[in-house]
Amino acid sequence: MVFRFFAPVILLMMLCLVVPHAHAEQFGAINSDSSSIAGQQTDTDTIAVMPEREALPPNMDGAPAPEVKPNQPQDFDYSVNLNSSVFGANLFTGTFARQAAAQFNPNYVINVGDSIRIRMWGAYQYQANLTVDPQGNIFLPNVGPIHLRGVRNKELQATVDREIGRVFRSNVRSYASLAEAQPVRIYVGGSVHRPGAYAGTSMDTILNYIDQAGGIDPARGSFLNVEVKRGSMVRARINLYDFLLSGVIPQVQLADSDVIFVGPLQNTVKVSGLTENDKRFEFSEASKPLDYFVKLAKPKPEVTHVRVTRNQGTIKNVEYYPIEEAGQIVVQDGDDIAFTADKKPGTITVRVEGETESPQEYVLPYGTRIGELLSRIQYSARSNPADIQLYRQSVKARQKQLLDASLRSLESAVLTARSGTAEEAQLRKAEADMVLQWVERAKRIEPRGQVVISQSPNKDDLLLENGDILRVPSKDGLVLVSGEVIFPNTVAFDSSFDVGDYIARAGGFSNKADASRIIVARQDGSFAQAKRNSRKLSYGNMRTTISEGDEIMVLPKVDVKSRQIFKELTQILYQIAVSARVAVGL
């Protein structure tokens, strides 16, 4: 009896939950502004009683959709692309192959095999991942088939809302999204490193699949002619220069068994010189105006001329043009283009330092002589113009080159020295380690680049160079003692002192000093060598005269067994002392 009493009530409740089309008018219009946030992926359908209030389905809190993970690229050495001089070769380094497809592509066209996530809540609850069937439909219970093949991703929600709205007029909301694009196998052929078939999804770009194939072979492949084929039909022709230069690439949706074909390399020219892109560029025409490559190479602002080397035929010809004439010059396959700065110097900058009352910076016409600048300098009472010093960058660079060459020769002599016995070999090894450590220290020394001009009768006629420094020393009444002495020090000048007296004031020789090798560096940049003669130190047959501002450098002993190494090491010690005014001990 109880069952018979409640049976009509239960039936009425079930009819309210599952609303047929015949009674849809009583619900009104469905809300078309459905939420666009993603939910959890599930394959179960749920039909429940109507809740007391509307609630969002689980995980509808803005969490991103699960990532569509592509296959990881096979191990491949992309260094051939990174090190190539071909423009665009470094585009393919494995980055595209390791990236997942875009989470949301509004222009993606839904196709057979795509997985669609559907969520419905409110008066009717349902959730599932539905696959687009061969007829292009998904099937929703109580709604029926919804045709989605050919629908763009951005129109998916509106399409699903429209079909659900035919049945449920109100109190039912829905959310539809692309859960996973159709898995596909794409063939990559032509001039790539590893032609073959590669797995991915239909949302992946052609860059992804070319990257999986190792990228375009820079020695054989074209960046201007990449085709996407479906059967015998070419669906798209892509010029990757548009992407490299402007960031523009056609959005081609791939399907299973599509072919990406990279055409053969076309005509090329090589660009070098003062440019941002010193690369090899490709072009399809038989010839091309030079200004086209000016735009690609992006010459630096200082460029004034361009040199074109013609490599056709058996004779190589070189042509030279102002950069302004680039639009009138035509280049062909195999030509070399070099951008240069052919500028005539107009002015130079020279600094005057030291004991003067003049400005420090001078801008002078190119070709100015030292005498013209000296006439402008205002000396003070402490100035010593007789010993004026000139420092030049080109001389400094040359001194460094010579020093490095001498050090390399010394290293070679040390490393190739032979030994007769095992005991001698052990001694040679310890000696070699000591010398090589000294060489490493010596490599860090920077020469001063000084030019001795004070003693030249023609110094006023010497031409100044850009970056020259003229230094006017002061009459400070001091003598510097350095190198292998016990207390390197500065001593007040005494006209009665000779070299030995000043060394005595610095504590005398250290135990590493070579008393037979003492250099006196003059204020003007010249040098003299003092030698021991009886109890005094003299230069030749005359006592070495010490003047104010001189520097006395005591060189270290050279204690090595090899005569060749001894000779080279001694020579370098003098070379460093003269060019850098430093006595480097072993």
Query: Tens digits of per-residue pLDDT, 170-192?
Result: 888 999 988 877 788 999 999 99
SS3 427: helix
74 confidence band (pLDDT: 50, 70, 90): low
Tell me if 125 is assigned to some domain: yes
Mean pLDDT of 568-586: 80
Residue 437 domain boundaries: 347-443
Please state, in angstroms and rounded to a whole number, the distance separating the CA atoms of residues 528 and 532: 13
Last residue of a domain, one of 120, 145, 180: 180
pLDDT at 70 over 50: no
- Quick one: pLDDT at residue 104? 64
CATH number at residue 333: 3.10.20
Q: What is the DSSP letter of 356?
A: B
Looking at the fold, whether 413 and 294 belong to one and the same domain comes out as no
**24 secondary structure, DSSP code:** G
Query: Per-residue pLDDT averaged across 97-108, rounded?
Result: 70
DSSP 101: P
Does one domain contain both 56 and 140?
A: yes
Residue 304 has pLDDT above 90, yes or no: yes
Residue 507: φ, ψ to 5°: 95, 0
Q: How confident is the model at residue 102 (pLDDT cuts 50, 70, 90)?
A: low
Q: Give phi and psi for 344, each to the nearest 5.
A: -85, 130
The Cα–Cα gap between 101 and 108 comes to 11
Comparing C-alpha atoms, which of 121, 128, 160 is closest to residue 144?
A: 160
Helices 393-415, 422-443: axis angle to 10 degrees equals: 170
Comparing 319 with 38, which gets the higher pLDDT? 319
Beta carbons of 96 and 205 less than 8 angstroms apart: yes
Residue 88 in any domain: the answer is: no
If DSSP codes are grouped into helix, strand and coil, which group holds residue 111?
coil
Model confidence pLDDT, tens digit, residues 524-564: 888 888 866 544 554 443 457 888 899 999 988 888 777 78
Q: Give the mean model confidence (pLDDT) for residues 122-135.
A: 91
- Mean pLDDT of the 156-181 span: 88
User: Has residue 260 got a pLDDT over 50?
Assistant: yes
Tokens of 535: 């109890």
pLDDT-derived band at 572 (thresholds 50, 70, 90) equals confident
Q: Domain check: are 363 and 329 in the same one?
A: no
Q: Check: CB of residue 271 under 8 Å from CB of residue 281.
A: yes
Q: In this predicted structure, what is the pLDDT of residue 586?
A: 64
Mean pLDDT for the stretch of residues 57-72? 41
The number of beta carbons lying within 10 Å of the beta carbon of residue 445 is: 15
User: At 511, which CATH number?
Assistant: 3.10.560.10
Name the pLDDT band for 284 (thresholds 50, 70, 90).
Answer: very high
Q: How many CA atoms lie within 13 A of 138 on its CB side?
A: 26
pTM of the predicted structure, to 2 decimals:
0.58
User: Quick one: pLDDT at residue 57?
Assistant: 41
Q: What is the pLDDT of residue 395?
A: 94
Q: Treating both helix axes as pointing N-terminal to C-terminal, what angle do 393-415 and 563-580 enclose, rounded to 10 degrees? A: 160
Q: Are residues 57 and 137 in the same domain?
A: yes
Structure-model confidence comparison of residues 4 and 292, the more confident one = 292
355 part of a folded domain: yes
pLDDT at 69 over 50: no
**What is the pLDDT at residue 118?**
93
Report which of 234, 185, 50 is spatially closest to residue 124, judged by C-alpha positions.
50
- Whether 290 and 427 share a structural domain: no
Distance CA 417, CA 424 (A): 11
pLDDT for residue 210: 95
Q: What percent of the chain has pLDDT over 90?
A: 48
Task: Please check whether residues 273 and 378 belong to one and the same domain.
Answer: no
Whether residue 334 is found in the same domain as residue 361: no
* Cα–Cα distance, 204 to 181 (Å, whole number): 9
The reported pLDDT for the residue numbered 218 is 95
Locate tokens 């060189």: which residue? 555
The whole-angstrom separation of Cα 190 and Cα 198 is 14
Mean pLDDT over 445-474 rounds to: 91
Residue 535: its pLDDT value, please? 46
Q: How confident is the model at residue 65 (pLDDT cuts 50, 70, 90)?
A: very low
Domain end (from 340, 370, 389): 340
∠ Cα 268 264 294 (to 5°)? 25
Q: What is the dihedral of CA 462, 464, 467, 471, to 10 degrees?
A: 60
| 422-443 vs 563-580: helix crossing angle, rounded to 10 | 10
Confidence band, pLDDT 50/70/90 cuts, at residue 100: low
Mean pLDDT of 75-101: 86
Residue 314 belongs to some domain of the structure: yes
Check whether residue 408 and residue 504 sit in a common domain. Answer: no
Looking at the predicted structure, is the pLDDT value of residue 207 above 60? yes
Residue 361 included in any domain: yes
In a domain, 7, yes or no: no
Same domain, 287 and 370: no
Residue pointed to by tokens 């690369």: 279
Element (H, E) at 211: helix 206-212
- CA-CA distance, 65 to 179, in Å (whole number)? 7
Does residue 25 have a pLDDT over 60?
no
C-alpha closest to that of 551 among 586, 499, 504: 499
Residues 491 and 432 in one domain: no
> Which helix (H) or strand (E) covers residue 401, if one does?
helix 393-415
Which of 256-260, 279-283, 310-314 shows the lowest per-residue confidence on average (mean pLDDT)? 310-314
485 and 421 housed in the same domain: no
Instruction: For residues 519-524, give the mean pLDDT.
Output: 89
> For the residues of 277-294, what is the DSSP string, one character each?
---EEEESSSEEEHHHHH
**Last residue in a domain, options 308, 340, 372:** 340
**Mean pLDDT confidence for 570-576:** 85
48 — pLDDT class (breaks 50, 70, 90)? very low
Residue 461 falls inside a structural domain: no
Please provide the average confidence, as pLDDT, over all residues in the chain: 82
Question: What is the arithmetic mean of pLDDT over 371-385?
Answer: 92
Residue 77 belongs to some domain of the structure: no
Shared domain check, 367 and 305: no
Q: How many domains does the chain have?
A: 4
Nearest to 518 by CA among 493, 554, 548: 554
**224 touches 126 (CB < 8 A):** no
